[in-house]
Chain A
Amino acid sequence: MGFDRTRKDFWIRIASAILAVVGIGITTYLVYERFSGGLPTCVIGGGCSTVQKSEWSTVAGVPVALMGLLAYIALLVCALTPWQISVLGAFFVSLLGVLLSSWLTALELFQIHAICEWCVSSALVVVVAFGFSIARLVIFQREASQRPPAAS
């Protein structure tokens, strides 16, 4: 897997990779706290522990934070690889992330009545990553349409 500096999406992939690493950092911390029995520390207020221990923090027993970690790892792999499947994969995973983050943020506001800074940070990261994935998709499509048809 490699970065092709001649490609137009080079910087987008670099930025996406950085965002994915930030997301991995956030979710790794949340997953660690979850499995070590601790509670995440909130800089402002105490909403992190409330959210992390709420019954909405898992899906069929799987912690949402773990799902987020796997998604960010997938995003990182997509950012580091130049293939069409990576472009589509980044779009799919980041779209999932935006939808799930929106749902979880709504739960925090209207159901749990507590805000987890780590979750909000992750939501912001994934929204920006989604923007990059759309840009990458557009670039990839333009390049594909400008490519001369294969000789028969």
Chain B
Amino acid sequence: MSRNMIIAIVAAAVVVIGVVIGIQVSNNSSSGQSLPLSHFTADVPAVNALLKGIPQSGQVLGKPNAKITIDEYIDYKCPICGQASKTVVPPVITRYVRTGLAKIEIRPLAFIGPDSQTGALGGLAAGQQNRMWYYSELDLRNQGSEKEKWLTPAVAAEIAQAAGCNMAAWNDAFKGQEAVNSFFTIQNQAQTDAVSGTPTFVVHGPKGTDSFSGLVPISRFSQAFLTVAGIKA
């Protein structure tokens, strides 16, 4: 076994590793503005803990027969929506949705930038697999800058993957007409509900409707429940 043979082995190993690194770097830089997937997966355990066990159907989180419905209008690029996702929405889900008193429907709008619509279509595509709330929470908790066009189709796909979507089905749905139709339906609903900013919460119950916007305290929801359903919560 000559010294030259050992040198050749070392050289071969270095070349192999060089090729592996080259492939990885090339693949991961070809995704353009795409954020690393780890950016979104870091919050998977927290989002799982928040949503696990609560029924999801399309845009709706919660039991279908809940007395109260909360419509949450958001923009996936809106920073206040991101803050609401971390501070306002979790206690609402824990106290009212998980317990079956209310269900909450997420309604993505697009007013910040054209990539808001990309994000909305991605969310609605995830909704076709009943994973829209996973998608939404992972997006809203890990937003890029409001001023940058970061919510590209590649990033939406990464969020969907982190949300546990079947990616073949998600890709079809993302490009499909159903998501587009849902998107325009939501824009019309926002006009009907006179939504002027996000996040806006519209609370419906047997006795009427109440709506409010921004980073509201949990007591604002209690007040709305009393108004729309006569329920002290």
Give the distance in Å from the alpha carbon of A50 to the alpha carbon of B13 in the complex: 28
A121 at the interface (CB under 8 A from B): no
Verify A88–B9 contact, CB threshold 8 A.
yes
A: interface residue count bin: 20 to 34
Verify B36–A92 contact, CB threshold 8 A.
no
Verify B13–A53 contact, CB threshold 8 A.
no
Verify A49–B44 contact, CB threshold 8 A.
yes
Q: Which residues in chain B, 31-64, are within 8 Å of chain A measured between CB atoms?
A: 31, 36-38, 41-42, 44-45
Verify A92–B13 contact, CB threshold 8 A.
yes
Q: Which residues of B contact A103 (CB under 8 A)?
A: 17, 20-21
Give the distance in Å from the alpha carbon of A113 to the alpha carbon of B13 in the complex: 27
Verify B12–A92 contact, CB threshold 8 A.
yes
* Surface stretch bound by A, among B22-30, B90-98, B220-228: B22-30
Verify A91–B38 contact, CB threshold 8 A.
no
* Surface stretch bound by B, among A1-9, A23-31, A94-102: A94-102
Verify A49–B41 contact, CB threshold 8 A.
yes
A46 at the interface (CB under 8 A from B): yes
Verify B27–A39 contact, CB threshold 8 A.
no
A66 at the interface (CB under 8 A from B): no
The answer to whether A53 and B38 touch (CB under 8 A), given A60-B23, A96-B16, is: yes
Q: Which residues of A contact B38 (CB under 8 A)?
A: 50-51, 53-55, 112-114
Verify B1–A46 contact, CB threshold 8 A.
no
Verify B28–A84 contact, CB threshold 8 A.
no
B231 at the interface (CB under 8 A from A): no
Cβ contact of B36, chosen from A54, A59, A88, A99, cutoff 8 A: A54
A144 at the interface (CB under 8 A from B): yes
How far is the CB of B167 from the nearest CB of chain A, in Å? 12
Verify A141–B9 contact, CB threshold 8 A.
no
Verify B24–A56 contact, CB threshold 8 A.
yes
The answer to whether A54 and B37 touch (CB under 8 A), given A39-B44, A60-B27, is: yes
Verify A84–B1 contact, CB threshold 8 A.
yes
Verify A96–B17 contact, CB threshold 8 A.
yes
A137 at the interface (CB under 8 A from B): yes
